[in-house]
Amino acid sequence: MSKVCPHCGVEVDDAATRCYNCKGWITEDVAVMDSSKPQDFLSTLLFAWFLGCFGVHRFWTGHYAIGIAQLLTLGGCGIWAYIDIILLCFNKFKDAQGRELREYNRSLGVVVFVLSLIPMLLVLLFLLGIFAAIAIPSMAR
């Protein structure tokens, strides 16, 4: 027996709770749907962007041990949190059960990735300026 996915119309197995084609949830039992579906992309991305150094996005997706580690190290001094943002932007971040996040938006991911490069470039230019300010006068002697 089979049933039809309400999101994309593809026939799926009668016992399936998720469509293999569109990854949509097809179960009618709301309690089962809410407890078994992964967190959504946008909320996880916002948590990572604004509170990533505290590991809030890791707690949100069920990675409690990693969340505690990020909290204690301030996101690996920001590096670990930034890597998580990159993983989120390109849909490589999984929840604690190994599932992709719901409602991934590729356009938003690319925009956030490009915006995240701006502070990195500013920091690199600042460091380059400091290096030049130190190295150029010593080379003139």
Q: Identify whether residues 25 and 3 lie together within a single domain.
A: yes
H or E stretch including 70? helix 64-77
Q: Is residue 78 part of a domain?
A: yes
Q: Identify whether residues 19 and 48 lie together within a single domain.
A: no
Contact criterion met (CB below 8 Å) for 52 and 81? yes
Q: Is residue 83 part of a domain?
A: yes
Rounded to 5 degrees, φ, ψ at 25 are: -85, 130
What's at 54, amino acid-wise?
F
Q: Is residue 62 part of a domain?
A: yes
- Between CA 81 and CA 70 the distance in angstroms is 8
Check residue 13 and give its pLDDT. 83
pLDDT digits (tens, 9 = 90+) for 11-63: 888 878 778 887 777 765 444 444 567 889 999 999 999 999 999 999 999 99
Q: Identify whether residues 104 and 61 lie together within a single domain.
A: yes
Closest by CA to 75, choosing from 39, 8, 16, 63, is 63
Check residue 30 and give its pLDDT. 43
- Take residue 132 and report the two structure tokens written for it: 């030049």
Domain of 67? 39-111
Check residue 21 and give its pLDDT. 82
Number of domains composing the chain: 2
Check residue 72 and give its pLDDT. 96
Concatenate the DSSP letters of all residues of 120-131 into one string.
Answer: HHHHHHHHHHHH
Q: Which residue has the higher pLDDT, 141 or 47?
A: 47
* Statement: residue 75 has pLDDT above 60: yes
DSSP 101: P
Whole-prediction pTM: 0.66
Q: Which residue has the higher pLDDT, 91 or 18?
A: 91
Q: Identify whether residues 43 and 105 lie together within a single domain.
A: yes
pLDDT digits (tens, 9 = 90+) for 105-127: 999 999 999 999 998 899 999 99
User: How many helices (H) and strands (E) are present in the chain, helices listed first?
Assistant: 6, 2
